[in-house]
Amino acid sequence: MLEFDHAKTLVVHYLDAMKVKGGLEITGFKEYDFGWVFYWDSSDYVRTKDINHALGGNVPVLVDRSDGGMYLASGFGPLRFHPDRFRADKQSLLRIE
């Protein structure tokens, strides 16, 4: 079983690997029985709250607590993550390698 701190570190490494000018940061998370969904945005937006620095299309990252697998938490309807979809069929999600 994965602990929260390890899951967060996995997401930070994933965001750092994108090598976006100015950086990317986790802006929040939600815990579920199966893991965590992490939300993120540009560091400039986090620092300034200026909408001109906000990203569009930044899909939340889901980390499965059972095996540390990371998935893009999208495709669940109008811009919202739906946990029952993961519980029913996590193979339908795009896994981040």
CA atoms of 39 and 28, how far apart (whole Å): 5
Q: At 89, is the pLDDT very low, low, confident or very high (cuts 50, 70, 90)? A: confident
Q: Which helix (H) or strand (E) holds 67?
A: none
Q: Report the distance separating Cα 91 and Cα 88, nearest Å.
A: 9
Question: Containing H/E element for 75?
Answer: none
Range of the structural domain that residue 22 is part of? 4-96
Q: How far apart are CA 76 and CA 83, in angstroms?
A: 9
Tally of structural domains, the chain = 1
pLDDT for 14 beyond 70: yes
Tokens found for residue 26: 């986790």
Whole-model pTM? 0.88
* pLDDT single digits (tens) 20-53: 899 999 999 999 999 999 999 999 999 999 999 9
Would you call 3 helix, strand, or coil by DSSP?
Answer: coil
